Amino acid sequence: MRCSARLVSPREEAARLGLPNAEFVVRDVSELGETDRFDLVTAFDTIHDQAHPAQVLAGIAASLRPGGVFLMVDVQASSNLEDNLDKPLATFLYGVSTMHCMTVSLSLDGDGLGTVWGQQKAEQMLADAGFSTVEVAHVDADVFNAYYIATKD
């Protein structure tokens, strides 16, 4: 199924709910080309898969209006291998990372961050992208993910 065909259902649901400002488009996230347009941008378990994640994050930061928020949900891990050794799913996460996430990124001449890029790297990349504050939250019912709330001044 083509990407644009997958947007039919969300568009219909937004219309049913009376949400005229909800927009669903197929785009290359590394080339957003938007400035001060959005109040909120979300990304769920996707940034580490991008070929050029720094470019994607900078584009997201540019696309937010002043005071805008970027909510990024990604795997809760450290950027330091030794700090992940006791994680119950570490073997699985590193396996998925090398067999899929990094492979996809590297095949596009990308950075190859992978699933376990970790909190330290994520926070640094968000700051480098131009976010003025980055808060990391954890949800008791979700031991798998970290919730990054990044704001733009």
Are 66 and 140 within one domain?
A: yes
pTM above 0.85, yes or no: yes
Are 42 and 82 within one domain?
A: yes
Q: Which pLDDT does position 56 carry in this prediction? A: 98
Beta bridge partners of 133: 151
CB neighbours of residue 128 within 10 Å: 12
What's the DSSP call for residue 99? Answer: I
Are 63 and 128 within one domain?
A: yes
Q: Which two tokens stand for residue 5?
A: 């065909």
CATH number at residue 96: 3.40.50.150
pLDDT tens digits, 47-66: 999 999 999 999 999 999 99
Are 97 and 119 within one domain?
A: yes
d(Cα 129, Cα 62) in Å, to the nearest integer? 9
Describe the crossing of helices 53-63 and 119-128 by its angle, rounded to 10 degrees. Answer: 50
pLDDT tens digits, 68-123: 999 999 999 999 999 999 988 999 999 999 999 999 999 999 999 999 999 999 99
Are 46 and 116 within one domain?
A: yes
Are 112 and 55 within one domain?
A: yes
The mean of the pLDDT values for the chain is 95
Considering its fold, how many domains does the chain have in total? 2
Q: Which pLDDT does position 6 carry in this prediction? A: 86
Domain containing 50: what range?
32-151
